[in-house]
Structure 1
Amino acid sequence: MLLLTFFAEFEIEVCVALVVIVLAYQIRKVVIPPSDFPKNIPTIPFYVLLFGPFFDWDQQEIFDLHYREKLEKHGAVKVYFAQRWNILVTRPEFVSQLFRDDLIFEKTGNHVKIPHSVFSEFTGDNMISAGYKNWKVYRKIITDSILFPNLSPLTDNTKKLLEKLQKLTNGGETIIKVSDLLQRYTMANIGDCVIGVNFRTMDDGENVHVYEQLRRVKQMIFTPLFMMFPFLDRLPIACRKRAREAVHSFKKGYADQILEERCSENNNRVGPRLAESFEVGEITEKQFQDNSIMALLAGHENPQLVLTSLLYILAKHHSVQNKVRIELEHYNKESKLPYLTSVIYETIRLYPPIGQLINRRANRKVILGEGIVIPPLTYVGYNNFGTQRDRGVWGADADEFRPERWGTNEEEIASFYALSKSRCTFPAFHGRRRACLGEKFAIYELKLAVAVIIRNFHLSLDPNWKDKITRAGPICPVQLSIVFNNISKRVING
């Protein structure tokens, strides 16, 4: 009997020891980078990941306190993100190497990195994060639709934006939280001009089911705890089961709407092109849904983020706002609005909508720069926020909003913009083969919206609004609140 008791106690102690060992190993994987990671670049402590969601620090505060000095000195750091250690770079020559050697640093998005997560199930294998083989297929299908959008609905939607703002101000002054209205505007634009779906988000009294459903799905997906530790999505947690079901329902409903609204007038848009490719067997049903989702998300969220940041800048800097207004008063079809263009570029420099991307994986052992050895299968990403605010690149005033740095006329601005992109000092639109296809459409959309707003309203920041940007993920002022003062009831034709 004593012997049996001894063995029973021994088995319990062994089990406890094994549990402790496993836990210790898992904790070590989070706290300490892998032993084969480069030793000649610093490490960002894993707990920095918690500062935004749990301590209400915004991304600029976190960057200034924990990233900036290390990145400006070394150009690369080790960071813990999406349940693994990664290499994050900001030095332009390192970013350029990622873009140039894209078959070595091949894109491998969340559908490979964290395939079990609800987030990766939402975005899937898409045109932005797909590996080279699938990307070539997707690009062949969608390129023309994005590069040559139908611009006529853009003018109509911008008129509707103006009408809504005039109705809210009623000829006077009012405070508006702009995020929802701007998101409806950019979602209408991407649907009408590029995807080939009328989301009706700018129409009064219409069914905006897709818009409201998308908001609910995103709220369910983007929970800080599960975004930071996506392995939790493997567990049978009720709220994650509901989130997964909501993702499946939304993707199917959205794909059905694309199919229902196909007609001869929009056959060259992204949605019908993807649907046709699915029907002939060029892509699977899941790839049709994944790419349709990404066209919607990237096509409306990124412009909405930049437009929000633009209104923040114009409301904060009245001298800039007035200068833009004067330029618009003298606008003619021969002019390309150089000052407004430089204001847009400078806003994107300071507030890139996607601050950080870690979606490339080294296919083999490779040397980054002159001596940073990257082990095979290591994820490598770049931080646009850091590169575009690097004082070694942009000068001591890198954090200051100074549109004049881009030039004083159309030729200077265009030349410096092209140079900044080619040298990867301005990687907000990514680069080389994987550069953003929607860049020109987005810039045109931003110019049109700003022109209509500034011609008709004087903007000021709500004195009760707390000046902060987002805590994590996409970058823009949080819940921006602006005082709109109606200075004209003229309807602008755009």
Structure 2
Amino acid sequence: MPILSTLAGRATWLIQLVAARSREPKYIVAAFAAVVAIWAARYAYRLVVPPRALRHLPHAPMTAYLRSFVRGDGFLEYKPVLLDLTRKDALRKGAIKSMEDTPTVFLAWLLGRWIVHLARPEDIKMLYTQPEVFEKDVVSDGLGFMPLFLGRNVFSVPTPEWKHHRKVVNPAFRRGWATSFFGEPARHLIAELDAASAAGKTIDPADWMQRMTLDALSLAAFGTNLDSIRHPNGDMVALYNAIMKDVVNLRDLLNPWYKRSAKGQQMKLMIEQFNDFVFDLIDTKTAQLKEQGKLGRDGAEGEGDDRRDLLEMMIEAAEGSDFTREDLRANTIIFFLAGHDTTANELCFAIYLMGLHKDVQAKARAEVIRIMGEDAARHAATCDAVDMDYPTSEQERAMIYINFVIKETMRLYPSVAKLPRRITTAPVTLTDGTKLPVGTKITVDTYAMQHDKAVYGPDADEFKPDRWASTVGKDNTVAMHPPAHNYTWAPFGGGQRICLGMQFSLVEQRVVLAMMLLRYEWDVVGNASALRGVPDMIPSDVTLHSKGIKVQLRRRNVA
């Protein structure tokens, strides 16, 4: 880069002068200024240009990413644009044959770093099944106050530390989840939706599903329902929502003085308040378990485990170990955070897609009626919300077509559009021969892979739940793990560190969608972009969260 050569030469000359005339302040100042200029130029250069070892990979220019961040574009606005710019570079470099193809490995820029993105299922399988080579890239201080919120948990820590966490956390997840965790809050949801339907009002499913899943998660994680459906402005609900609104605001993270700003200090205070709330729950529940004589028993398994909350089971499993109070808080928070927002997004998109595709909605409803029975379906459509039946565990597990809808929704709109970063601990050669050096930051681009026409055919961008009919097994269940799909479907991640909350999310989606289908018929209305199949999104580089979708509900007529 010419400017670097010029500045380096100038600095060398000045340093020589300083050595010769060390007592002359003007030369010392000039030399210092030149060194600062070189450092700034090198920093800017590394910010704009990928590392030398990765420069041959296709990538969109840094300015395109920065422009989308500054404008606050939603994911579905900027992702196709950036992918097209990446395709143009890939075409120029001979990595693809046409603009219809998606590069299987490419670079993307994020907050001053260039990250390798994988979109080939074979490479994705390699990453998920070789954790010793693709290690977790621990959340850094550059992510504002997110480390203070998340702490070190089973999701974020490197493998050696992960093994310590999983001994306590895994038993709490290796069990069934009672459908009452979801059915009871869903009754409250339906009572509110009935009022909107009776008044002819449209609803934003994103808002209601966020509240629904927040209540289910607080019940399952803490044993305490925050009741955000009926009390959306409650103290803890308002505090949590305020944190979630801005904790990963990219504009703030681009501000080097954010953590010292008034806004940053306010975020820190809110996180500390929420952490204190969780610590109080931990202390109260620990005291209760001691009083009941439940601590110190062998393991956390027993009668009715599917109805016990996560925190209770983790406290029991941690007894006698070096698992700290902070470890309990961090692992409860990550489950609470990941299980709430991601499942809410998927429920929203499933309702949205079935509102656009009435044939799919009708087919899904027919399955639920068949499984739960005509009498139960008639009762569910006409009773008071508080008396509405929800599926049993046996019934929700029998919903095959509902699983097709869920899988297709999660393919088109994976809540986590890309895997949180890994870092290579050894040189890696990908399946196309691409070599990655040690220390390469790398991720799975779930969205790009699950929209790749080379993987899913020319209708890859279309909503077709029946494409999953071939995944029904001999036991009449629908395969949901990545190996069953050769890693072409992996919205929950994969390998030994697959999302622990996967089954929780799937049960919740089946229960809530079944209840919605029994109670209502609905259409998407209003928002023009949503009606075109491209709903607006809240700005984020990681999660897909819609805004502005409008749905018109009608109580089912079963007369």
Q: Is the shorter-chain TM-score for this pair beyond 0.5, marking a shared fold?
A: yes
* SS of residue paired to 1:165: helix
Q: Pick one of 261, 278, 289 that aligns with 1:237.
A: 261
* Structure 2 contact 416–544 (Cα < 8 Å) conserved: yes
Q: Pick one of 153, 170, 184 that aligns with 2:181.
A: 153
Q: Pick one of 173, 182, 187 that aligns with 2:214.
A: 187
Q: Pick one of 478, 488, 495 that aligns with 1:432.
A: 495
- What are the equivalent positions in structure 2 for 1:169-208 lying under 5 Å apart? 169-170=197-198, 173-193=200-220, 195-201=221-227, 204=230, 208=234
* SS of residue paired to 1:74: coil
- What are the equivalent positions in structure 2 for 1:348-359 lying under 5 Å apart? 348-359=410-421
**Cross-structure match for 2:191:** 163
**Cross-structure match for 2:75:** 59
- What are the equivalent positions in structure 2 for 1:28-427 lying under 5 Å apart? 28-35=45-52, 37-67=53-83, 69=87, 70=90, 72-110=101-139, 113-114=140-141, 117-148=144-175, 149-170=177-198, 173-193=200-220, 195-201=221-227, 204=230, 208-227=234-253, 229=254, 232-233=257-258, 236-261=260-285, 263=288, 269-275=309-315, 280=320, 282-332=322-372, 336-407=398-469, 410-411=472-473, 414=477, 417-418=480-481, 421-427=484-490
* Structure 1 contact 196–271 (Cα < 8 Å) conserved: yes
**Cross-structure match for 2:297:** none
Q: Distance in 2 between matches of 1:192 and 1:242?
A: 28
Q: Distance in 2 between matches of 1:90 and 1:463?
A: 35
- Greater shift in the superposed pair: 415-424 or 393-402: 415-424
Report how far residue 237 of structure 1 moved.
2.4
**Cross-structure match for 2:378:** none
Report how far residue 357 of structure 1 moved.
2.0
* SS of residue paired to 1:173: coil
Q: 1:277 to 1:246 in 2, by over 3 A?
A: farther
* SS of residue paired to 2:451: coil
Q: Deviations over 1:397-427 (max 9, x none)?
A: 1001111111179448856655765511011
Q: 1:246 to 1:417 in 2, by over 3 A?
A: closer
Q: Distance in 2 between matches of 1:211 and 1:448?
A: 23
Q: Distance in 2 between matches of 1:318 and 1:347?
A: 15
Gaps of 5+ in 2: 1-20, 91-95, 295-299, 301-307, 373-393
Q: 1:205 to 1:103 in 2, by over 3 A?
A: closer
Normalised to the residue count of structure 1, the TM-score between the two structures is: 0.88
Q: Distance in 2 between matches of 1:45 and 1:479?
A: 30
Is 1:19 equivalent to 2:36 in the alignment?
Answer: yes
Q: Distance in 2 between matches of 1:82 and 1:127?
A: 25
Q: Distance in 1 between matches of 2:555 and 2:407?
A: 26
* Structure 2 contact 54–436 (Cα < 8 Å) conserved: yes
**Cross-structure match for 2:510:** 447
* SS of residue paired to 2:331: helix
* Structure 1 contact 44–67 (Cα < 8 Å) conserved: yes
Is 1:477 equivalent to 2:542 in the alignment?
Answer: no
Q: Deviations over 1:59-97 (max 9, x none)?
A: 234332322534845311122224322211111011111
Aligned identity (percent) is 20
* Structure 1 contact 259–275 (Cα < 8 Å) conserved: no
Letter in 2 for 1:160: H
* Structure 1 contact 141–277 (Cα < 8 Å) conserved: yes
* SS of residue paired to 2:551: strand
Q: 1:395 to 1:314 in 2, by over 3 A?
A: same
Number of equivalent positions: 479
* Structure 1 contact 338–409 (Cα < 8 Å) conserved: no
* Structure 1 contact 38–372 (Cα < 8 Å) conserved: no
Normalised to the residue count of structure 2, the TM-score between the two structures is: 0.78
Report how far residue 279 of structure 1 moved.
6.6
* Structure 2 contact 210–341 (Cα < 8 Å) conserved: yes
- Greater shift in the superposed pair: 335-344 or 413-422: 413-422
* SS of residue paired to 2:106: strand
Q: Distance in 1 between matches of 2:309 and 2:325?
A: 18
Q: Deviations over 1:425-468 (max 9, x none)?
A: 01111111011222222112111111111222221223146422
* Structure 1 contact 338–408 (Cα < 8 Å) conserved: no
Q: Pick one of 512, 517, 521 that aligns with 1:458.
A: 521
Letter in 1 for 2:312: P
Q: Deviations over 1:319-377 (max 9, x none)?
A: 22122222222224678232221111100000000001242111122222242221212
Gaps of 5+ in 1: none
- Greater shift in the superposed pair: 430-439 or 199-208: 199-208
* Structure 1 contact 421–431 (Cα < 8 Å) conserved: no
Letter in 1 for 2:118: V
Runs of 4+ in 1 over 6 A off after TM superposition: none
Report how far residue 304 of structure 1 moved.
0.4
* SS of residue paired to 1:20: helix
* Structure 1 contact 199–211 (Cα < 8 Å) conserved: no
Report how far residue 244 of structure 1 moved.
1.9
* SS of residue paired to 2:521: strand
